[in-house]
Chains A and B, each alone.
Chain A
Amino acid sequence: MADLSVIESQTPLDPASPLAVRGLTVSYGEKPALFSLDASFPAGKMSAIVGPNGAGKSTFLKAALGLIPKVSGEVSVFGREVDRVRDRIAYLPQRASVDWDFPTTARDVVLMGLYGQVGLWRRITGQHKAHALACLDRVGMADFADRQIGQLSGGQQQRVFLARALAQGADLFLLDEPFAGVDAATEAAIIDVLKSLQAEGRSVIAVHHDLSTVAEYFDHVLLVNLRRIAEGPVATTFTADTLADAYGGRLGAVQIEALALQGA
């Protein structure tokens, strides 16, 4: 049996998975933020990362991308090291991380999504500009292309940043709370785009806060609270038991029942 466990720990992470981690541990100073987390997200699906505040959801995305150091653990993106496949990943950070006063327009922000492909010095051509405008159009923001980004509403800003992610032409979309602080129309527009990405065979993984829409939007869910609580298809994983485990006393029994019923 001892031998078996050694073999198991050496098996490579699923190369078909757009993002798989094993034993991922992250800490901020003395305080652990994630402890020995295992997860493997399915390709071509919409996946949610769900858990209470401070559970380590954003930390998970940042550590997987190598934006913050990890204490230990393996990360595999399409079966490879993350540094080798950065051009296949589009990351949408939380809205607050951006300088809204920066002298840049919506069109400009979307063009930044192309920097990974055009490199440091190659010229931005008319074709690139047309592509950027098409991406803005896909999120319904083509009419706002020349607005300075600080002059857009929160929802419009989020759509512009989704357009930038589209422009990257990635296969894996990592979104950190894409619906935080946006209006209902924007939320619907974003979901439409994400579903169309999924239809194209791309994978979407989003940190998600609103428990009432998990079942409606997503196929796969990772429930996390410092450790992995549960992971699997929403229908079988997003249950009263797992929610109670993840949220402890923070959700009432009645709330949990109602949410789990929606998922069923």
Chain B
Amino acid sequence: MGAEFVQFSLTPILIGIFASIACALPGNFLILRRQALIGDAISHVVLPGIVVAFLVTGVVSTWPMLIGAAVAALVAVALIEAVRRLGRIEPGAAMGVVFTSLFAGGVLLLEQSDTSNVHLDVEHALMGNLEQLIWLRADGWGSLLDPVALADLPPELPRMAVAALIIAVLMLVFWRPLKLASFDEGFARALGLPVRLIGLGLVTAAAVAAVAAFDAVGSIIVIAMFICPPAAARMMTNHLGVQVAWSVVFAILSAVLGYVLAGYGPIWLGASNSVSAAGMIATVAGLILGLACLFGPARHRVGVAAGG
């Protein structure tokens, strides 16, 4: 665990951790509000927005990408409404049709445009480039205190850390309104809380997490982290605060374990190559969810069906 680890593994693992946390935090509330599909939809819809933003500006940078993703999200909302009304299709199906179509459109656009000189291609969109986000300037743990070396950190790391921090702070600040509006909307409104604004804020936070994480880790991790850690955490407890804490633990565990297994797992099994870190991180998240479903202490819940 010396210089080589700091150079080649520390930054990808940290980026994976921050991306996972940023997605898992809003995921808790999306799942409780039966809006898990929205997280899925956002992470798909973001792609065409980012590609168009790149085609317009010619650079891969945060703000144009965020704006492009936001515009794509608005287009998606309008399309979902149109499909639902004109096609008389139930909302879930309308959402499914629209976001997969937009994602497919984004893939086609990406394939046809000249993005050879930037990190933007189809494989990248799905799986990110976690393994390449290394810190060559580092020569050991001491580099963490060396301003010259720190200046050479992959920019994805501070960006992802800031996104995760912002989302965590917003969640703490608006904890009570979020909890009330998610649990009992009628009561929240009777107290005078702006429940629609709260819902919109939550979806916006999810979109920020998706856009920030997209470039570094790809959409597979984003989709997995919106759902797997919070859903597994729900099986562990009947307290919301404890659930969120568990979801962060599971997100970190998935990122670390997934990265290590992707790099060394095949070698331990006798193969010579490694596998995609993003794919392995998402797989580990799914395995954790499976274990929680089988053994989680709060998995037996009555009133699930009778509640409606």
Query: A and B, one complex?
Result: yes
Nearest chain-B residue to A89 (Cβ)?
B190
Tell whether, in the assembled complex, residue A86 and residue B301 are in contact, meaning their CB atoms are under 8 Å apart.
no
- A101 near B307: Cβ-Cβ < 8 Å: yes
If A93-B184, A112-B183, A115-B180 touch, whether A100 touches B307 (CB-CB below 8 Å) is: yes
**What separation, in Å, do the CA atoms of A97 and B179 have in the docked complex?**
15
Closest to B304 in A: A101
Contact code string A35-72 (vs B, CB < 8 Å = 1, else 0): 00000000000000000000000000000010100000
Does A187 sit within 8 A of B, measured CB to CB?
A: no
B155 near A: Cβ within 8 Å?
Answer: no
Give residues 104-137 of A contacting B (CB, 8 Å).
Answer: 104-105, 108, 112, 115-116, 120-121
Instruction: Report A227-256 CB contacts with B as 1/0, cut-off 8 Å.
Output: 000000000000000000000000000000
Q: Complex Cα distance A67/B191, Å?
A: 10
Instruction: Tell me, rounded to whole Å, the shortest Cβ–Cβ distance linking A170 to chain B.
Output: 10
Residue A196 CB within 8 A of the other chain: no
**Given A108-B240, A112-B180, 4 additional A-B pairs, CB 8 A:** A96-B308, A103-B234, A120-B174, A150-B304
The answer to whether B32 touches A102, judged by C-beta atoms less than 8 angstroms apart, is: yes
Cβ of A67 and Cβ of B237 under 8 Å apart?
no
Per the bound structure, the CA–CA distance linking A100 and B302 in Å amounts to 9
Q: Check if B238 sits within 8 Å of A148, measured CB to CB.
A: yes
B177 at the binding interface (Cβ < 8 Å): yes
Q: How many residues of B contact A (CB 8 A)?
A: 32
CB distance A151 to B303 under 8 Å?
yes
Is A98 part of the contact surface with B, judged by Cβ < 8 Å? Answer: yes
Interface size class of A (residues with CB under 8 A): 20 to 34
| Bound CA span A105–B243, Å | 13
Residues of A within 8 A of B237 (CB): 103
Q: Which of B137-177 contact A (CB under 8 A)?
A: 173-174, 176-177
B303 touches A101 (CB 8 A): yes
A97 and B184 contacting across the interface, CB-CB below 8 Å: yes
Q: Is the pair B301, A150 in contact by a Cβ cutoff of 8 Å?
A: yes
Q: A8 interface residue, CB < 8 Å from B?
A: no
> Most A CB atoms within 10 A — which of B173, B184, B234, B308?
B184
CB-defined A-B contacts under 8 Å, sample of 10: A83-B192, A93-B190, A97-B184, A102-B32, A102-B240, A103-B298, A112-B187, A120-B174, A150-B303, A151-B303
Q: A100-B307, A148-B301 are in contact. Are A67 and B190 (CB under 8 A)?
A: yes
